[in-house]
Amino acid sequence: MTEQTRRVWRARPVTLVLVAAFALAAGVVIPVLAYLLYRNGSALWLPALLVVLTALALLYVWRFGLHPRLQVTDQNVEIINPFRRYSFDWHDITVIAPGENGLLIGSEDNLAEAWCVQKSNFASRHGRLTRADRIANQLLDIVELHDPPIEDEKNGLRIRRARPDEPKLLARLERAASEEALGAHVFPPQQYPYPAGAVTRRWRRELRDPLMHAYLLEIQDSPVGYVAFNGDTVHHLGIVSDHHRRGYGTALLEFACMEIFSGGAREAFCWVLTDNHLARAFYRAQGWTETGERRNSEYPPHPQSLQMMCRNPHAPRRSL
């Protein structure tokens, strides 16, 4: 690239037009009114007050309407809000997601909202894609230029970041990966229907969490698996049933552990349903062991889960 600044986003054009109209009204109408009052012999303080109010109105218009912007450069993305500026290096960004207060951009150390790019609550509730979604995806495309997906072109495999507009996709994958294995003996569907709405809402929250890393496994551009983890815990891992026993789950787990251990963690943890014997056998085959910790799971009838752990093979051993 020859230009350092690639693009700048401000508020929506409609919003800018309304702001400009308000500025024109405040900058012309109120001073004219102040002049007429002065010519008609009004007390001097009243025209002076109107002039001061005009200046304050124009300052407000500039600071809150025209000044906020989102600026992209080769090195970083900058959020310029009315009273504060934030800068994020592309390599540090862990979350970009639309929000009603502004486009959410964050790293593990910092989080900010770009006021100039907002998505309404109505659009969020109804799953409608808006300008904020388009901008978020454009920024995520740039993130992937700096941190590319893992690809195996020979086998058509790719592990990529999950996008903020994919909670429904992740919920469908999770259902396809778990319902058949767990429905009969852990979550009987007649008594406990699959909580599709709750799972979707959970994914929506997690895709906005700067500490949660969610990835999709694709085969020939078709998603078949997922993994989500934070600093030391693998929270979700699944492969749709049609693609079991092909090494995809192992690939996702190894990827998650590599990311966790590269952050300096001495151990990685996960929680597995006690009655999910296939999952427990899978983790044991990868070298994980049970810690003895137990807790109830999130969804009715709240079956028991157990914690499993894997040590970082490259971490120095504690001295006795």
Instruction: State the amino acid at position 276 in one-letter form.
Output: N
Alpha helices in the chain (DSSP H): 13-24, 30-39, 45-60, 121-125, 131-146, 167-182, 196-206, 248-262, 277-285
Q: In this structure, are strands 5-9 and 69-73 parallel, antiparallel, or unpaired?
A: antiparallel
Q: How confident is the model at residue 45 (pLDDT cuts 50, 70, 90)?
A: confident
What's the per-residue H, E or C state across 19-59? HHHHHHHHHHHHHHHHHHHHHCCCCCHHHHHHHHHHHHHHH
Q: How confident is the model at residue 185 (pLDDT cuts 50, 70, 90)?
A: low
pLDDT digits (tens, 9 = 90+) for 277-305: 989 999 999 999 999 999 999 988 899 99
Q: How confident is the model at residue 23 (pLDDT cuts 50, 70, 90)?
A: confident
Q: Indicate the range of 5-9, 178-182, 212-216 predicted with least confidence.
A: 178-182
Phi, psi of 263 (to 5 degrees): -85, 0
- Alpha carbons 21 and 19: distance in angstroms, whole number: 5
pLDDT above 90 (res 14): no
pLDDT digits (tens, 9 = 90+) for 112-159: 999 999 998 888 777 788 999 999 999 999 999 999 999 998 888 999
Catalogue all structural domains in the chain, each as residue range(s) with its CATH number: 1-148 (no CATH), 149-311 (3.40.630.30)
Kindly report the pTM of this predicted structure.
0.85
- Alpha carbons 184 and 217: distance in angstroms, whole number: 27
Residue for token digits 């929270």? 235
pLDDT above 90 (res 215): yes
Surface-to-core class of residue 105, CB atoms within 10 Å of its CB (0-12 exposed, 13-18 middle, 19+ buried):
buried
Residue 316's pLDDT is 67
